[in-house]
Amino acid sequence: MKEPTREIYWNISHIWLMYALLVPAIAIGAWGIWRRVQRWRRGKADASRFDRPTLRIKRLLDHSLAQRRNPIFHRLLTWGFIVLTIATIIVALDADFGTAIMRGRFYLYFQSLTVDVFGAFVLVACIALAARRPRFTPLLAAIFVIALTGFLVEALRIAATHDPWAAWSPFGNLIAKVVPVSVVAHRTLWWTHLAITFAFFAWLPFTQLRHIITSPLNLYTSNLAPIGANLKSVDFEQERLGVATLDDFTWKDRLDFDACTECGKCTDACPAHTVGKMLSPRDIIIELRDRDEGSAAIAGAAAAQALWECTTCAACVEACPVFIEQMPKIVDMRRHLVMDEADFPDGMQSAVMSLEKRGHPFTGTQATRVDWTQGLDVQHVSAAKDADVLFWVGCGGALIERNQKVIRATAQLMQKANVKFAILGRDEKCSGDPARRIGNEFLFEMLAKDNLANFTKHNVRKVVTPCPHCFNTFKNEYPRYGATFEVQHHSEFLEQLVDEGKLAPAREDGVTFHDPCYLGRQNGVYDAPRKVANATIEMERSRNKSFCCGGGGGMSFVDEPSDQRVNQERANEAVATGAKTLAVSCPFCMSMMEDGVRGRMRVQDISEVLWASQQPVIPSVARDLGGRGAMNVPRSPTRPGPSLTLGMTEGEQN
C-alpha cells in the first residue's frame, strides 16, 4: 500500500491566482494591524509591563489557550482555529517549500483526524455561541461559512477520488456520502473557500476579531500585581492631571481598548449596572476605542455621571477574559474631573473637604478616634515601646458607632491572645483610600506621607487593620512612598492566633460571609475571614466573583437613588442563603449591609463572631438550644442569655 497522504491542489489549476489574491489580503490585513500598533505607540509610557516573563507566559497560556474565563465553546472555537491554521501552514510548507511533512502517520493522525475533529468543533462552537448571543453576528457567520466550505471541499474530494484514507476524516467522510461526485463543484467551492478565508484575514483587524492578535498581547502585558495595586501614580508636573483626552492614556490603555472582544462580561459583573445605573465598563472601553486621537475622553455629562457610579470593586477587571483594566481607567478619568475641573458629586466633595481639614471623611461626626477604648486598657504607641503590632483602627472603625463594637471585639481578642499592640489614637489619619479612589491623588499623597512620617516616628514594623481599604493602601500603595512595614488584615491576623491555639475557633453555625472587594478580589484573601467566622454558607456570588456592598470608591458618601442601591441587591442575596448571620470584615460593608438587610438577619464582623466563641458555653443554655453555642440565643428581652453581652462592657449593649 502507498504511504498515506493526499495530493495537494488536486483538481485545482491556475495556482498563481491564489498567490495573486494572497498578496493583497496580507497587505490589507497587515495595514489594518499596523494602524492599530501606531495608535498604541502614540500612548504615554507604562514601564512595568514586561518584567517576570515566565509568569507572563504562564498567564498567556492560561488565558489564551486554556481560556479560564471563557465558556467551553469559545475554547473549542479557538482551538479549532489554531489547529486549522497550523494545518494550512503545513500544506503551504509542503507545497511551496518542498517539505514532506504531510505523510504517513502524521498525515493520518494530525492532518486528517485531528483537523477533521477540530473543524467540527468550530462548526459546533459557532452554532452554540450564536445561540447565546442576540444574533448570528457577521463575524461568527464568516467563521462558520469558512469551516463549512472547508468540509464540503474535503467531502467532494473524498467522493471524487475514492480516497483510501477517508475513514481518517470521519466528518468529511460522512458528508462525502451525501454529496455528488462533481469536480466542478469541488473546484468552485475550493476557490470560494479560499476567497472567503483571504477576505476574512484582510477584514480581521478592522473588526473586534482583531482580538485574535490583540488579546494575547494584552494578556502578556497585563498587570501581574494584585488588582489592588492597579492604579497608576500621577506626575504632578504634567500639564493635565489624570485623563482628560485620549492622548492622556498609556499605550497599554490603548492596547486594552483594542483587545476588547465586546463580550460584555465586565458589564454583566458590574454592581452599578446590575442595579440599573448607567455605568457599563464595556461601553466605556468601546467608546474610548472608537474615539479619535486628541478628542475628550469624557464626552458629555452622561459619561461623567457614569464614572461617578463606580464603586471601584474591580468585578469588571476580574471578569475580563483578556485582562482589560477597566476600573483604573475610570479612576484616571475621575482624576481629571476632580483635580483639573473640581467637578464631582457633592457627597464626595464633602468627604474630600473633611479629609483635608480633619483627616477623616465623615463630615459632622461627633465621635472621636478613641471613643471605642473606653474601659479597655489600650495604649498609644508612644507609651507602648514594646508593642509588636500597631492596631490601625481606621476612620470607619473609630468614627462609625456600629463599628466601634467591631474594634472593641478585635482589641479584646488580641488582648486575650496576649498580643502586645498599641494604637495611634488621635494621631491616625485616613489612609487616603477614599481620596485616591475619588480621584484626588494630591490629597492621597499628602495623607500617605503624613501617616508614613508617623509610622517612622514610632518605628512601626507591623500593622494590623480591620479595614480592607487601609490594608490595600498600606500594602500596595504606600511602598511607593518608602513604606517597608508588614501589614495584615485582621482576618489574617486572627486566623493566625486561632491556628496558634491562642484563641478558640469560632463555633457559630449558620454564618455566610460577604467578601470585601479590597480584601478578596483585589488582594486574594478569601479563606482567612471564612475560617475566623466559621462561615460555611456561600452566597450565589462569592470569593473572586463576590458582589460589592456598594460602598467603595467614595460611593458610601453619595446618596443613591432608592431603587438603584447596590447594597440592597447584595443584602437580598445574603438573606436568600437562609443563614442566621452575615459576617463582614470591612467597616464600609458593615454600614452598607446593615442598611440593606434591615433586620432580616444579623450582621456581624468576623471578629465579633470569633469573640462570641471565646466565652465558655454555659451547659444549661447549650442544652436548651440543642447543644449549639451560646451565640445562638435569640435577641429577646424575655431571654437575657449570657450571649447578649457579647463580651462588651456595660452600656454597649443594644
Partner 1 sequence: MNIVVCMKQILDPEVPARDFRIDAARREAERGSASLVTNIFCENALETALQSGGNITALTYGPESAEDTLRKALAMKANAAAHVAGEGGHPLHVAQVLAAAIRKLGPFDLILTGRESGDWGAGQTGALLAEELGLPCVSFADKIEVMNDGGWQMADGKASDSSAIRHPPSAIRVRRQTDAGFETVEAQPPLVVTITNAEHNVPRIPKVRDVMMAHKQPLTRFTVDELGVAPADYYEIVELAIPQKETRCELLDVDGLAQRIAEITAAL
The residues of the shown chain that bind partner 1, judged by CB under 8 A, are 236, 241, 338-342, 349, 352-353, 357-359, 363-368, 371, 426-427, 440-443
Cβ(567)–Cβ(550) under 8 Å?
yes
User: C-beta of 338: minimal distance to partner 1 in Å?
Assistant: 7
- Between the alpha carbon of residue 260 and those of residues 47, 82, 334, the distances in Å are 22, 20, 22
User: What whole-number distance in Å separates Cα of residue 158 and Cα of residue 163?
Assistant: 5
Spatial strand order in the sheet of 389-391 = 421-422, 389-391, 462-465, 486-489
Cβ(59)–Cβ(219) under 8 Å?
yes
Spatial strand order in the sheet of 581-584 = 511-513, 581-584, 602-605
User: What whole-number distance in Å separates Cα of residue 587 and Cα of residue 407?
Assistant: 10
Q: Give the other-Cβ count within 10 Å of 527's Cβ.
A: 12
User: C-beta of 407: minimal distance to partner 1 in Å?
Assistant: 17
User: What whole-number distance in Å separates Cα of residue 43 and Cα of residue 36?
Assistant: 11
User: C-beta of 243: minimal distance to partner 1 in Å?
Assistant: 14
User: C-beta of 422: minimal distance to partner 1 in Å?
Assistant: 17
User: What whole-number distance in Å separates Cα of residue 332 and Cα of residue 42?
Assistant: 18
User: Which residues touch 528 (CB under 8 Å, ≥6 apart)?
Assistant: 489, 491, 492, 494, 495
User: C-beta of 269: minimal distance to partner 1 in Å?
Assistant: 32
Between residues 135 and 357, which has the closer beta carbon with respect to partner 1? 357
DSSP H or E stretch at residue 197: helix 183-203
- 3-class DSSP assignment, residue 584: strand
Between residues 127 and 453, which has the closer beta carbon with respect to partner 1? 453
User: C-beta of 242: minimal distance to partner 1 in Å?
Assistant: 9
Nearest CA to 605 among 483, 519, 524? 519
Between residues 363 and 577, which has the closer beta carbon with respect to partner 1? 363
DSSP H or E stretch at residue 333: helix 326-335
User: What whole-number distance in Å separates Cα of residue 443 and Cα of residue 359?
Assistant: 10
Between residues 366 and 418, which has the closer beta carbon with respect to partner 1? 366
User: C-beta of 236: minimal distance to partner 1 in Å?
Assistant: 7
Cβ(279)–Cβ(309) under 8 Å?
yes
Between residues 365 and 415, which has the closer beta carbon with respect to partner 1? 365
Between residues 358 and 502, which has the closer beta carbon with respect to partner 1? 358
Nearest CA to 22 among 206, 191, 195? 195
User: C-beta of 423: minimal distance to partner 1 in Å?
Assistant: 14
Q: Cell numbers 486561632 label which residue? A: 498
Between residues 80 and 425, which has the closer beta carbon with respect to partner 1? 425
Between residues 93 and 367, which has the closer beta carbon with respect to partner 1? 367
Between residues 114 and 363, which has the closer beta carbon with respect to partner 1? 363
Between residues 233 and 536, which has the closer beta carbon with respect to partner 1? 233
**What is the per-residue burial (b if ≥16 Cβ within 10 Å, else e) of 210-236?**
bbbbbbbbbbbbbbeebbbbbbbebee
User: C-beta of 382: minimal distance to partner 1 in Å?
Assistant: 14
User: What whole-number distance in Å separates Cα of residue 260 and Cα of residue 286?
Assistant: 7
- DSSP letter (8 states) at residue 109: I
Q: Give the other-Cβ count within 10 Å of 237's Cβ.
A: 5
User: C-beta of 359: minimal distance to partner 1 in Å?
Assistant: 8
Between residues 364 and 561, which has the closer beta carbon with respect to partner 1? 364
User: C-beta of 426: minimal distance to partner 1 in Å?
Assistant: 4
